[in-house]
């Protein structure tokens, strides 16, 4: 029997339950309202125009309309298992993914959610989701699971991946998704692999970074080059075509969990309160740790390029500017 933990679960030392195949059938139980929702582990966050939407443990969805200074819990979420990824294309239309291969859709900016997909007899988690527009989207997860949709998530098609070079089968865990301005999509994965798709997730090719560990997340920098992060403080800067990679020198060995970019501003976060920032598009970085050392799980940059941070303990309070 093989076991694997989701992105945040692996990085945060068994934070989430183990996922295995097969598993007992799941009964979909709605997420419960909680006065402690802002203290639940956040696993992914995004902007829905001016609104901030964050998802995490226990099917929690948090919404903020003041750039992360205050949050409220979404009123209707049909599933209480962990949500690990979220993507919005505008102020209304968004999707979230999670354990049991769950895919949820919102058409009101995250206030309420509807279940589009649930694999109730097989806990094969989805770890990340990206929508290019209101119809075309991609979700990835456990053991090279790739799902695509061309109708806004009404139907999903599993795409077969070829095995990575030197291996007999495609079984890498695909952990993060990010795209460039040309519509090219990238997935971070195990064994130092980054996958690239130029056709909205239908076909993929492997980009070998030269690193042998797991890469959790990534982003495209302002100049079109790639920045990916993963285990043991690994931060790699790659060319736009993904053929040339250089390691960014960091003192910390704390694993990197998220990368956020806004123009030439870059923020990288990780375990043990790690935060690495660049104001010159990734040419140079400044490394620091939060005062409490709490493990950071997700990050965004607001309209003023101020970081909004999330952790295993939930929302990190926004510091006065």
Protein fold of 240-321:
Thrombin, subunit H (2.40.10)
Each domain of the chain, given as residue ranges in start order, spans 39-208, 240-321
Other residues' Cβ atoms within 10 Å of the Cβ of residue 201: 24
Q: Which fold has domain 39-208?
A: Neuraminidase (2.120.10)
What's the whole-number average pLDDT of the chain? Answer: 91
Q: What pLDDT, on the 0 to 100 scale, is given for residue 22?
A: 52
Element (DSSP H or E) covering residue 10: helix 7-11
By CB atoms closer than 10 A (0-12, 13-18, 19+), residue 20 is middle
For 274, the token pair is 């790690």
**Global pTM?**
0.91
Regions in the chain scoring below 70 on pLDDT: 1-26, 319-321
pLDDT of residue 11: 42
For 182-228, write each residue's pLDDT tens digit.
Answer: 999 999 999 999 999 999 999 999 999 999 999 999 999 999 999 99
Q: What is the pLDDT of residue 25?
A: 59
The pLDDT value recorded for residue 122 is: 76
pLDDT at 101: 96
Assigned token pair, 206: 């492997």
């Amino acid at each position: 029997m093989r076991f694997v933990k989701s992105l945040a679960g692996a990085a945060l030392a068994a934070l989430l339950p183990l996922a295995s195949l097969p598993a007992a059938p799941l009964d979909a139980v709605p997420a419960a309202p909680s006065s402690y929702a802002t203290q639940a582990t956040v696993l992914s966050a995004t902007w829905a125009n001016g609104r901030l939407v964050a998802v995490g443990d226990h099917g929690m969805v948090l919404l903020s309309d003041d750039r992360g200074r205050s949050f409220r819990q979404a009123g209707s979420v049909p599933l209480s298992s962990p949500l690990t990824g979220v993507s919005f294309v505008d102020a209304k239309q968004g999707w979230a993914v999670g354990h049991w291969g769950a895919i949820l859709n919102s058409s009101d900016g995250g206030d309420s959610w509807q279940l589009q997909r649930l694999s109730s007899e097989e806990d094969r988690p989805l770890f990340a989701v990206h929508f290019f527009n209101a119809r075309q989207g991609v979700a990835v997860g456990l053991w090279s699971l790739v799902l695509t949709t061309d109708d806004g998530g009404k139907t999903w098609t599993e795409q077969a991946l070829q095995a990575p070079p030197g291996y007999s089968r495609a079984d890498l865990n695909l952990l993060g998704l990010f795209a460039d301005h040309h519509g090219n999509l990238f997935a971070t994965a195990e064994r130092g692999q980054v996958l690239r798709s130029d056709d909205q997730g239908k076909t993929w090719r492997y980009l070998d970074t030269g690193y042998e560990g797991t890469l959790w997340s990534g982003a495209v920098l302002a100049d079109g080059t790639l920045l990916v992060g993963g285990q043991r403080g690994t931060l790699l800067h790659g060319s736009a075509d993904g053929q040339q990679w250089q390691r960014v020198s960091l003192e910390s060995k704390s694993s990197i969990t998220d990368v956020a970019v806004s123009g030439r501003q870059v923020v990288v976060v990780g375990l043990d309160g790690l935060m690495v920032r660049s104001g010159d598009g990734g040419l140079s970085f400044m490394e620091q740790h939060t005062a409490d050392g709490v493990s950071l799980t997700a990050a965004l940059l607001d309209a003023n390029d101020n970081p909004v941070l999330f952790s295993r303990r939930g929302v990190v309070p926004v510091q006065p500017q």
